[in-house]
Structure 1
Amino acid sequence: MSALVAPDARTAHYGTFYRLTPLPDNFVVVHGNCQAEAIRVLLDGALAATVRVPPVHELTADDLSYLERTYRAARALVAQPVRDGYRGLPIGTAQVHALLPTDAALVMFPVLRWSALHPYHLLARSAEVSDPPLVPYYDVRTIARAAGLPQPRLTVRGIRQVATRSRAELAVRQARSRTIRADDLFAAAGAGATNTINHPGNSVLMGVARRILHRLGAAEQVADPGRELLRSVYAPMEAETLDALALAGAPRTHWIVGGEPVDDEEVAQTHLSWLRSQPQALELAIRAAVGWSGQYSVAS
């Protein structure tokens, strides 16, 4: 008789999805990016059961049979908008919703991005270019240095424009995909709204979870998880940003990555060297930075 082989850490982490344990009764799945798992954690205590599934950017063709089995048995789908054929797979929100029983509920929540607290930061991604080292966030000032361009500096008006535009863009995404509302939650959270531009703080995530529960007709009781859910990276938060937005809070001059402080200049120098050695990445970053600089009041 052959020996049993222990599952690898990832398979064990998503054990029910990968059939290591039976599916529970009356369970809900949450479909989306890394924010989806944070929302699932908050919903789990208020619903009969949830099943942890991999974020969409981690799914592969080998996962499709497990996904179909899981989603066909779910009683409700909570999902972010994901386009059909994402990463060449049938894992768009409409595509996976079609797998569920016909009477299964669907609740949509938006991709949660908020630039107000980190107005110089960008995410710029393509299939051909990997994320920069240390942290996956570009700083437009570092991009300018790498490209030999003048250093951008936001005026007070520009910082406020970033916040206003970020809220407006989120409102458009909410309306387009008919999701629950989250822009007011970010605005109310002040200096605690985000840890990075795409990692909301707990107060925002808990507010989103309560609104999802309301849509599902469940009690809107969301327990504090006792830890920051999206805590892998904290970006610097500059005093001039807090001042411009009249927000109470302590500025943070460094990054925190995996619980350890990382000097902002170390990140800048690492990204500078990397961008200068990666022509495709620099081109992608410049395009993103040029689009950014054309939107706000910037002083050279």
Structure 2
Amino acid sequence: MTGRRQHYAHFHGLLPLSSPLERDGRPLVLVHGNCQAESLRVLLAGDGSTPVRTVRVPPVHELTHEDLPRLQRVLDEVDVIVSQPVREGYRDLPLGTADLLARAPRRPRLVVVPVLRWAALHPFQVIVRSPAAGEPPLVPYHDLRTLTVAAGRPELPEVPSARAVRAVRDLSARELRARQERHDALPVVDLFEAAGAEATHTVNHPGNAVLRGLAGRVLAALGLPADVPDPGRTLLDSVHAPVLPAVLDALGLPGPGRADWLVHGEVTTDADVRAAHLRWYAEHPGVAQAGLARHAEAAAELAA
């Protein structure tokens, strides 16, 4: 038995979706999306006393054609689908949000949650998708300062101005609000703002306070009690990015900042990450230029 089959035992049919003791009237919830979706599911599941039942499924980008019958087995029983916006025919498979709704015979309720990205604490950090090149070494994130060097562009300041920090924060909030409105998703910008220095570990890994707040809003949208207990551990804990003291000062937030990366519990210096990424960009021409084009507005704010 593979580790994947054990980890997703209910999904693979090794355990029933509902035992006799669990058939207690609580709705069965499928949470669909990326790694953020699993953390949201953990919070909705709680210690088993929460007002919903959940089933652990692989993130959408890991699902394969062979998984479709297993996913259908789950869809046959779900009462609620909580989903990030996933386009129809994602990766040429019926994994989009609308695809799942169409395949679920019980006509489940849908709650849409946005993809969570927040750059306030990490104004230089961006995500660049390059399927041909894959991910850079050490950490799967890109730094606009390193991208400009790799692309032969004028270098960005090592430490951003207070104005630039706040401009990138506002840009991040504007983009997130646009995603919320475009997909009629639950609001989350205020959760990031309220979480302050604890809002994120990286641009796409929210802290517990944000995730718990969103889980509560999911339950409230279903008309259920919205108290979400602390999970007793840090979710999305694999990577913690550096946080510049100047960024915290610009945002009026407490804390000393963090100079290094923490990757799976091990310290990695920012200098090592940037050196490894420069070598990687040299081996994958065009990635740096594409990244700068994708994040031109943030780069321009940081250069001003």
**Partner Cα distance (1:187, 1:290) in 2:** 24
- Name the residue aligned to 1:168: 174
**Partner Cα distance (1:204, 1:286) in 2:** 28
Query: Is structure 2 residue 141 aligned with structure 1 residue 137?
Result: yes
CA shift, 1:95, in A, is: 0.6
- Partner secondary structure for residue 82 of structure 2: strand
Percent identical: 47
**Partner Cα distance (2:90, 2:281) in 1:** 27
- Name the residue aligned to 1:265: 271
Aligned CA distance change for structure 1 residues 181 and 139 (closer, same or farther; 3 Å): same
**150-159 or 174-183, which moves further after superposition?**
150-159
CA shift, 1:280, in A, is: 4.1
- Name the residue aligned to 1:31: 32
Contact 1:28-1:76 at 8 Å conserved across structures = yes
RMSD: 1.4
Q: Give the 5 Å matches for 1:209-220.
A: 209-220=215-226
CA shift, 1:157, in A, is: 1.0
- Partner secondary structure for residue 41 of structure 1: helix
Query: Is structure 2 residue 71 aligned with structure 1 residue 67?
Result: yes
**Partner Cα distance (2:130, 2:110) in 1:** 30
Q: Which runs of 5+ in 1 are unaligned?
A: 1-6
CA shift, 1:145, in A, is: 1.7
- Partner secondary structure for residue 30 of structure 2: strand
CA shift, 1:289, in A, is: 4.8
Q: Give the 5 Å matches for 1:51-66.
A: 51-66=55-70
Aligned CA distance change for structure 1 residues 159 and 226 (closer, same or farther; 3 Å): same
- Partner secondary structure for residue 23 of structure 1: coil
- Counterpart amino acid of residue 104 in structure 1: P
CA shift, 1:155, in A, is: 2.4
- Name the residue aligned to 1:4: none
Query: Is structure 2 residue 206 aligned with structure 1 residue 200?
Result: yes
Q: Give the 5 Å matches for 1:107-118.
A: 107-118=111-122
- Name the residue aligned to 2:239: 233
Contact 1:77-1:104 at 8 Å conserved across structures = yes
**155-164 or 207-216, which moves further after superposition?**
155-164
CA shift, 1:127, in A, is: 2.6
Aligned CA distance change for structure 1 residues 237 and 297 (closer, same or farther; 3 Å): closer
**Partner Cα distance (1:285, 1:103) in 2:** 41
- Name the residue aligned to 1:18: 12
Aligned CA distance change for structure 1 residues 51 and 42 (closer, same or farther; 3 Å): same
Query: Is structure 2 residue 191 aligned with structure 1 residue 185?
Result: yes
CA shift, 1:288, in A, is: 3.1
**Partner Cα distance (1:204, 1:135) in 2:** 23
Contact 1:84-1:93 at 8 Å conserved across structures = yes
- Counterpart amino acid of residue 18 in structure 1: H
Q: Give the 5 Å matches for 1:259-298.
A: 259-294=265-300, 296-298=301-303
- Name the residue aligned to 2:163: 157
Report the count of equivalent residues.
Answer: 292
Contact 1:14-1:54 at 8 Å conserved across structures = yes
CA shift, 1:286, in A, is: 3.8
**Partner Cα distance (1:163, 1:213) in 2:** 28
Deviations 1:157-179 (A, max 9, x none): 11101001111111111111111
- Counterpart amino acid of residue 14 in structure 1: Y
CA shift, 1:22, in A, is: 1.0
- Counterpart amino acid of residue 17 in structure 1: F
1:105 to 106, 109, 124: 109
Deviations 1:247-267 (A, max 9, x none): 112200000000111101000
Contact 2:168-2:298 at 8 Å conserved across structures = no
Q: Which runs of 5+ in 2 are unaligned?
A: none
**Partner Cα distance (2:219, 2:72) in 1:** 24
Contact 1:129-1:280 at 8 Å conserved across structures = no
CA shift, 1:49, in A, is: 1.5
Contact 1:32-1:82 at 8 Å conserved across structures = yes
CA shift, 1:72, in A, is: 1.9
2:229 to 198, 223, 228: 223
Query: Is structure 2 residue 3 aligned with structure 1 residue 9?
Result: yes
Contact 1:195-1:234 at 8 Å conserved across structures = yes
- Partner secondary structure for residue 256 of structure 1: strand
Contact 1:75-1:101 at 8 Å conserved across structures = no
- Name the residue aligned to 1:253: 259
Contact 2:77-2:106 at 8 Å conserved across structures = no
**94-103 or 105-114, which moves further after superposition?**
94-103
TM-score by length of 2: 0.92
